Amino acid sequence: MIDKVNLDPVVDVQNISKDYSGKIAVSNLSMEIPAGICFGLLGPNGAGKSTTLKMVYGVTSPNSGDIRVFGRDVTKYTRETRSRLGVMLQEDVMTDALTPRQNLETFGRYHLITKLDLSKRVDWVINFMELNSHADVKVRNLSGGFKRRLAAAMAILNNPELLILDEPTTGLDPAVRHVLWSKIRQLKAEGKTVLLTTHYMDEAERLCDQVMIMANGESVIQGHPRELIKSELMPEVAEFDCSETEEMKILENIEEKSLALRSGDRLMVFMEDATRVLEAINQFDGGSRRPVYSRPANLEDVFLSVTGLRLGEGQ
């Protein structure tokens, strides 16, 4: 006997488009998010990430295309869908005059959680998000990090199957980011599906099983972060400052296949073996050029190569 496994994606987006009075926000976008994974929407500001999220939780409707969440059309079953998901917005939108505990109790009522369950549930999320020390301090007196923990606590209060996080760690210090990352990993380990947006590539590499890079409202590329790095770029990068004429001279004797990306004076050369470039630089000016270093290619490089090139094309 084979166990019946539900293979339907938790979020199934097909060819959605959205414009705001003629200005295109999202264009012909598709994505499928299977249960239990963490899916990252990456892209520069204004790429359409937040609009896509809003359409997934049904606050905004697409002009065309289909969105199914938990197998059902979100524009028709909005209330039910939202009872099974939790959203952490980009901005902190809790009530300043209330404490985290009071904010959570209010939020629980919107989910129609009964009084007895609510106090248990509130205690649980306060504990889980490590908010205990500040649970009864007015929100207006909380630091940014504690506000974000509260925002996350509000998103998981209803024990959602799908967690939607819009730039969960933007503007936070590294310690708080690590706390939030570990919480997200724990929630994923419990079987929750996570959909997040970020413009931090390290965050995406750490958390996401699959990413989609967006630019100008379109999907540019989708896949597993490490596979994207492998398929899009050579494994190593040499990074250094040089002018365009110097670039030609340094790279003229390198026969190996390479890709060079330039941003101002900074040049990144992607190769199988980046030491070849370092040697070429040394030959060119006798080792006086600093800083020069080589490193493995990462998701940020993929991001820059796909969005950067597209931005270039558009200009």
Partner 1 sequence: MSVSVRHVLSVWHRNASMYRRTWKLNLLPNFFEPVFYLTAIGIGVGAYISEIGGLSYVAFLAPGLVCVAAMNGASFEVTYNVYIRLAYEKTYSAVITTPVTPEDILFGEVLWAVTRATIYGGGFFIVASLFGLVPNMMAVLAIFVIPLTGLLFASIGITFSLHMPTIEFFSFYFTLFLTPLFLFSDVFFPISERLTGFWLNAAEVFPLLHPVRIVRSIFNGDWGLHLLWDLGYIVVVSAILLFWAQRTIKKRLSN
Residues at the contact surface with partner 1, assessed by CB under 8 A: 20, 57, 59-61, 78-80, 82-83, 86-87, 89, 91, 93-98, 102, 106-107, 109-112, 154-155, 158
Smaller CB distance to partner 1: residue 62 or 225?
62
Smaller CB distance to partner 1: residue 157 or 250?
157
Instruction: Tokens 């050029």: give the residue.
Output: 289
Smaller CB distance to partner 1: residue 81 or 305?
81
Q: Are 272 and 256 in contact (CB under 8 A)?
A: yes
Smaller CB distance to partner 1: residue 87 or 201?
87
| Closest approach of partner 1 to the CB of residue 118, in Å | 11
Q: Tell me which amino acid residue 193 is.
A: T
| Closest approach of partner 1 to the CB of residue 68, in Å | 17
Q: Are 130 and 147 in contact (CB under 8 A)?
A: no
| Closest approach of partner 1 to the CB of residue 130, in Å | 21
Nearest to 180 by CA among 158, 160, 205, 150: 150
| Closest approach of partner 1 to the CB of residue 102, in Å | 8
Q: Are 296 and 237 in contact (CB under 8 A)?
A: yes
Q: Tell me which amino acid residue 35 is.
A: A
Q: How many CA atoms lie within 13 A of 205 on its CB side?
A: 14
| Closest approach of partner 1 to the CB of residue 237, in Å | 40
Q: Are 104 and 134 in contact (CB under 8 A)?
A: no
Instruction: Tokens 């724990």: give the residue.
Output: 186
Give start and end residues of each alpha helix (H) in 84-217. Answer: 100-110, 115-128, 144-156, 174-189, 201-207
| Closest approach of partner 1 to the CB of residue 188, in Å | 20
Smaller CB distance to partner 1: residue 155 or 237?
155
Smaller CB distance to partner 1: residue 111 or 224?
111
